[in-house]
Chains A and B, each alone.
Chain A
């Protein structure tokens, strides 16, 4: 694995290796001194063309816990608005000796272009590109699911008893704006690779034309899916408020109608099996796609997803910069 651009590039064994490495990283984070010397002297660049404090801090924390030097390069709006081009930014980073580049970009495929255009030799990690992919988010989601649902007791957290395991047999439901969601695309590919059964639930306007060939089921009816599938994990996707005011008068009639049909409220929470977990990639719109009761319920692992994000990103940085995964991929 030279880059991490898309979860679709990961084999089952590569994905499991990342999750296992993340578990080892998480174990080190329970110590009083959390910092490991592994990447001392290496320089990791956070190249963010789009604001995302959460993701940037998560990567920055992960890199620093591995003793890497971190440079934050905020280039918001840069290339599309005719500032410095992506190419010139890449050449600058190369000249500065970046050992890895973590890129967040509003254009789908920008990380792929950065990795393959010949501008840069360093490994590229996709921290979210347009409406394409967000592989570390999907990996931390898979890590969280495995920890809660594949250990000795379903629903209880277990980081050690799950080593080597995938997600086979689990039923996972993703609800919300699939059309614009890189989290959904990354999760569908990774969860399928790891053996889970995935169901997407959304209003038809928020599903892409062409979704029918994805390795998952699709439904417009959340209540029916919850009743019939009894999912092990339920992931609520963020619905951006500007989706209500775009061309054609918006993708759905009103926030209230969206909440009624696709929001996770107490009634729907009660439909879940006892061990099921509730997830959200954040940031949440409380009252739109998820109610406060659901977000704060004991089933919610939303805060833990954030913590697991650091361990997963440590694992990815470690495997790309220090370790070997045994195969050339991506």
Chain B
């Protein structure tokens, strides 16, 4: 395999170093390394080197909704966004609730070669919330599933949730909960508050998220299991997770880029591109999730990348689908909201977008490990970002197959210049680079 010599990039934003990638591994990092024979040189001047990003929450839509996204287009978007691994949510059609379907998604990801695809298994059969899916079979499959979620739907039945939390302990799994009390959110369209009252859209109250999180952290403590809270969106949720962690509950939490940036004020124009579940919240909630990410209450940023075809957003608000794309803008949003504001370092970004999500998903060990440090001997998963670049978001120029970016027209900092997956560039000079057949290992 070709070697790459990254000249003068700044690992985690520190002093510029040369980074040598050989045979899928980081061969060395230092300021005195020579260019190995035959190595391709990548100019790293001004670039920050991060470990390849890991997204714990991606909707790749395949099988079933290939009109919105495929594993190939979604993982190409991931690579363009600096990701070397994505966890594919289970709400496909058929649902990822058997070993067969998770192995199909895993294989599609392997064949596409843009990023490692780790399928998430459904908690309940068909996301129906009634019977446990065959969690053990999915864990034992080639896809080696460790994260289970009915995302899109809440595991609202407390008994089913308890059983799921207990059952996955056998193989060190985690239940990733979409916290939404269904009865409190029947027909809900947006955050319940001042804006919903005025514009007449049915409200999705913060308490519907917080009540489930409160219940689940207590359950997790009671049965001694791992709980992961998906797309935490309210100030009250941050308080609850902070409280649970202080009590020693094994809970982790994620926030999406859009909940770090946008508020429910964007609903005022009834543009369904801002319709998402959980909904955009208030400015106070945005500040709370930022603070929670800084103090470690919130462990990771995950995109909840949710592509939808044009017609599902080109309609009145109530008829539109919930969800936003996010893979290609996540790092820029984190830079703008957390790094450029001085609240987080690039090392913190590497923690919340690479190391921690890989650890939660139990993919941070072994020869194909993700979320590893930038160090000699580690897998050569490296993302190079130009923090000084600035670009206007144009969904038409993105790699994802769907146009529903809420950030269209917005100028954001940071540009992914290169993404290396085990030493092979999936993105180079800012452009996706299709793998040669023999390059895919």
Q: Are B192 and A107 in contact (CB under 8 A)?
A: no
A87 contacts the other chain (Cβ, under 8 Å)?
A: yes
Interface pair B316/A110, CB less than 8 Å apart: yes
- Of B199-207, B323-331, B358-366, the segment with at least 4 beta carbons within 8 Å of chain A is B199-207
Q: Is the CB of B319 within 8 A of A117?
A: no
A74 within 8 A of B: no
> B194 contacts the other chain (Cβ, under 8 Å)?
yes
Most B CB within 10 A of own CB, among A116, A182, A209: A209
Which residues of chain B have C-beta atoms less than 8 A from A105's C-beta? 316
Q: List residues 191-216 of chain B with CB under 8 A from any CB of chain A.
A: 192-203, 205
The answer to whether A247 touches B318 (Cβ under 8 A) is no
Q: What 0/1 readout, one digit per residue, does chain A (36-77) give for beta carbons within 8 Å of chain B? A: 000000000000000000000000000000000000000000
Output the least CB separation between B169 and chain A (Å): 35
**Cβ–Cβ contact B315 & A113, under 8 A:** yes
B316 touches A107 (CB 8 A): yes
Are B199 and A132 interface neighbours, CB within 8 A? yes
The residue among B196, B205, B316 with the most chain A CB atoms within 10 A of its own CB is B316
Closest B residue to A208 using CB positions: B197
The answer to the question of B171 belonging to the interface, with a C-beta cut-off of 8 Å to chain A, is no
B318 A209 Cβ-Cβ under 8 A: no
B83 interfacial contact with A, CB 8 Å: no
Q: How far is the CA of A108 from the CA of B198 in the complex (A)?
A: 11
Which A residues are in CB contact (< 8 Å) with B205? Answer: 209
Tell me if A28 is interfacial: C-beta within 8 Å of chain B. Answer: no
Interface residues of B in 170-224 (CB under 8 A from A): 183, 186, 189, 192-203, 205
Complex CA distance for A211 and B270, rounded to whole angstroms: 20
Q: How far is the CB of B120 from chain A (nearest CB, A)?
A: 29
Tell me if A129 is interfacial: C-beta within 8 Å of chain B: yes
Whole-angstrom distance between the alpha carbons of A221 and B183 in the complex?
A: 29
A299 contacts chain B at the CB level, 8 A cutoff: no
Q: Is the CB of A85 within 8 A of B315?
A: yes
Judging by beta carbons under 8 Å apart, are B200 and A248 in contact? no
Which residues from chain A contact B196 at a C-beta distance below 8 Å?
208-210
Q: Are the C-beta atoms of A247 and B186 separated by less than 8 Å?
A: yes
Q: Say if the beta carbon of B311 comes within 8 Å of chain A.
A: yes
Q: Does chain B have a CB within 8 A of A86?
A: yes
In the complex, the answer to whether A109 meets B201 with C-beta atoms within 8 Å is yes
Within the complex, what minimum Cβ distance (angstroms) separates B119 from chain A? 30
Docked pose: A211 CA to B194 CA in angstroms: 7
Query: A209 touching B183 by the CB < 8 A rule?
Result: no
Looking across the interface, which residue of chain B has its beta carbon closest to that of A189?
B198
B195 adjacent to A130 (CB under 8 Å):
no
Q: Which residue of A lies closest to B182 (CB)?
A: A247
B315 touches A79 (CB 8 A): yes
Could you mark each residue 94-118 of chain A with 1 if its beta carbon is under 8 Å from any beta carbon of chain B, else 0? 0000000000011111101100110
B200:A209 contact, CB within 8 angstroms = no
Once the chains are docked, how many angstroms separate the CA of A247 from the CA of B182?
11
Q: In the complex, how many angstroms separate the beta carbon of A250 from the nearest chain B beta carbon?
A: 13
On whether the beta carbons of A210 and B316 are closer than 8 Å, the reply is no
Question: Do A210 and B314 touch across chains, with their CB atoms under 8 A apart?
Answer: no
Give the chain A neighbours of B192 by CB distance below 8 A: 209-210
Contact in complex: A87, B199 (CB < 8 Å): no
Residue numbers in B under 8 Å from A117 (CB-CB)? 314
In the assembled complex, B248 has its CB within 8 A of some CB on chain A:
no
- B38 surroundings in chain A (CB, below 8 A): none
Residue from B193, B194, B198, B203 in contact with A185 in the complex, judged by beta carbons closer than 8 Å:
B198
Check: B367 CB closer than 8 A to any chain A CB.
no
B342 at the interface (CB under 8 A from A): no
Chain A residues in 8 Å Cβ range of B37 = none
Chain A 244-259 interface mask (CB, 8 Å, partner B; 1/0): 0001100000000000
Would you call A130 and B193 a contact (CB within 8 A)?
no
Which of A87, A113, A117: most chain B CB closer than 10 A?
A113
Residues B318 and A210 in contact, CB atoms below 8 Å apart: no
Q: In the complex, which residue of chain A has the Cβ closest to the Cβ of B202?
A: A131
The listed residue (A109, A213, A214) touching B316 by CB distance below 8 A is: A109
Q: A112-B270, A116-B269, A247-B183 are in contact. Are A211 and B197 (CB under 8 A)?
A: yes
Contact A210 B200 (CB under 8 A): no
B317 lies within 8 A of chain A by Cβ: yes
State which of A106, A182, A209 has its C-beta within 8 Å of the C-beta of B193.
A209
Q: Which residues of B contact A87 (CB under 8 A)?
A: 314-315
B147-170 CB mask vs A (1 if < 8 Å, else 0) is: 000000000000000000000000
B316 touches A86 (CB 8 A): yes
Q: Which listed residue (A112, A133, A182, A209) contacts B203, Cβ 8 A?
A: A209
Smallest CB–CB gap between B190 and chain A, Å?
10
Flag if A108 contacts B200 (CB, 8 Å). Answer: yes
Closest Cβ–Cβ distance, residue A274 to chain B (whole Å): 35
> Counting CB contacts under 8 A, is A271 at the interface?
no
Partner of B317 from the list A85, A108, A133 (CB cut-off 8 Å) is: A108
Instruction: Give me the interface of A with B, judged by CB distance under 8 Å.
Output: 8, 79-80, 85-87, 105-110, 112-113, 116-117, 129-133, 182, 185, 208-211, 213-214, 247-248
15 inter-chain pairs at a CB distance below 8 angstroms, sorted by A residue, are A79-B315, A85-B319, A86-B315, A87-B314, A108-B199, A108-B200, A108-B318, A110-B316, A113-B317, A129-B200, A208-B197, A210-B194, A210-B195, A211-B197, A214-B197
Identify 7 new A-B residue pairs, CB closer than 8 A, beyond the known A80-B318, A113-B316, A247-B186: A108-B200, A110-B316, A113-B270, A208-B196, A208-B197, A209-B196, A211-B197
